[in-house]
């Protein structure tokens, strides 16, 4: 299938956080850019917009990004949200599902191909372990909404063919560059689009002793967890002052390197 107008909606995952590229808007590349590059190859009429902004919860994604997306009359839309919501101490997942359902219905009504995402499986331990149950509930809503409207699901929860720790950035929250390449491959495959992408070799993680693990955890708490908690307490967001990196449909330049 050949797409002509691709609009990506979402949060930091879709903005491309964890995949730095100083030559690009917001200094990020990400899986959505990589998908767009494949779709643009030998397709001179292709245009791409990315409205995603880091830190956005699902209601804000819908409020800020849905109408601009509809106005562009896309024939392909990807939408990811919910990850920032389920990490909050209190969240009404059923209410989120109602608004998500309505949003997907409006996107589908345009005739566009729509793809949505489940949240990754964090496993029973680690910092995200306590939220695993609510992540699973949210994912079931995603699958139900997708079934209802006949849209594509990129099911991150069921991606067991890659070691998650090897494709995560040092902040333990976002994909690294290799992870974004992997995700671009999975999105294209879900859309039945042939692609030339290959996953770079994933190096084995170093085996660390208890003291090294404690030092790593202390550094991570100081550099990432502490600031994240502070933003929550003060009502701020990592996306404050950030604008969409591609707010309108534009041609896609071939990747460099």
Q: For residue 168, is it within any domain?
A: yes
Q: Does pLDDT of 152 surpass 60?
A: yes
Q: Which residues on neighbouring strands pair with residue 114, listed in sequence order?
A: 77
Could you tell me if residue 69 is inside a domain?
yes
What pLDDT is attached to residue 224? 65
Asked if the model's pLDDT at residue 108 lies above 60, the reply is yes
Size (the chain), residues: 257
Q: How many domains is the chain partitioned into structurally?
A: 1
Of 69-73, 162-166, 234-238, the range with the lowest mean pLDDT is 234-238
CATH number where 77 lies: 3.40.50.1110
Three-class SS state of 156: helix
> Is 44 contained in some domain?
yes
What CA–CA distance (Å, rounded) separates 170 from 221?
A: 11
Residue 204, phi-psi category: left (phi > 0), alpha (psi -120 to 50), beta (remainder): beta
DSSP string, 195-244: ----PPP-PPPPP--HHHHHHHHHHHIIIIIHHHHHHHHHT--TTTT---
**CB neighbours of 251 closer than 8 A, spacing ≥ 6?**
40, 46, 47, 48
Q: How confident is the model at residue 173 (pLDDT cuts 50, 70, 90)?
A: confident
Domain presence at residue 79: yes
pLDDT mean over 5-29: 96
Tell me the mean pLDDT in the region 59-87: 97
| Radius of gyration in angstroms for the set of CA atoms belonging to the chain, rounded to a whole number | 18
| Residue range of the domain that includes 63 | 5-250
Whether 235 has a pLDDT exceeding 80, the answer reads no
Start-to-end CA span in the chain (Å): 26
Q: Is the pLDDT of residue 2 over 80?
A: yes
Mean predicted lDDT score pLDDT of the chain: 91
∠ CA 50-54-59, rounded to 5°: 85
CB 15 within 8 A of CB 30: yes
Q: How confident is the model at residue 6 (pLDDT cuts 50, 70, 90)?
A: very high
Could you read off the pLDDT of 176-220 as tens digits, one per residue? 999 999 999 999 999 999 999 999 888 877 777 777 777 766 776
Q: For residue 244, tell me if it sits in a domain.
A: yes
Position 115 in a domain: yes
Query: Residue 257: its pLDDT value, please?
Result: 56
pLDDT at 219: 76
Please indicate, yes or no, if residue 256 is contained in any of the structural domains. no
């Amino acid at each position: 299938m050949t797409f002509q107008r691709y609009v990506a909606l979402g949060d930091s995952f879709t903005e491309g956080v964890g995949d730095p590229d100083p030559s690009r808007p917001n200094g990020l590349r990400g899986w959505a850019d990589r998908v767009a590059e494949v779709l643009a190859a030998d397709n001179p009429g292709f245009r791409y917009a990315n409205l995603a902004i880091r830190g956005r919860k699902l209601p804000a994604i819908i409020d800020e990004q849905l109408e601009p997306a509809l106005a562009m009359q896309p024939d392909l839309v990807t939408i990811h949200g919910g990850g920032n919501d389920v990490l909050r101490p209190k969240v009404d997942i059923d209410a989120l599902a109602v608004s998500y359902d309505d949003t997907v219905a409006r996107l589908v009504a345009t005739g566009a191909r729509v793809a949505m995402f489940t949240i990754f499986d964090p496993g029973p331990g680690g910092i995200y372990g306590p939220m695993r149950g609510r992540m699973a509930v949210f994912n079931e809503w995603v699958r139900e909404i997708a079934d209802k409207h006949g849209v594509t699901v990129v099911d991150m929860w069921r991606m067991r063919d890659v070691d998650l720790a090897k494709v995560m950035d040092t902040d333990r929250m976002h994909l690294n560059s290799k992870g974004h390449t992997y995700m671009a491959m999975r999105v294209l495959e879900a859309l039945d689009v042939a692609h030339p992408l290959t996953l770079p070799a994933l190096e084995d993680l170093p085996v660390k002793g208890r003291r090294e693990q404690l030092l790593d955890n202390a550094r991570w708490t100081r550099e990432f967890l502490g600031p994240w908690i502070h933003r929550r307490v003060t009502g701020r967001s990592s996306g404050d002052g950030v604008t969409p990196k591609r707010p309108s449909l534009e041609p896609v330049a071939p990747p460099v390197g």
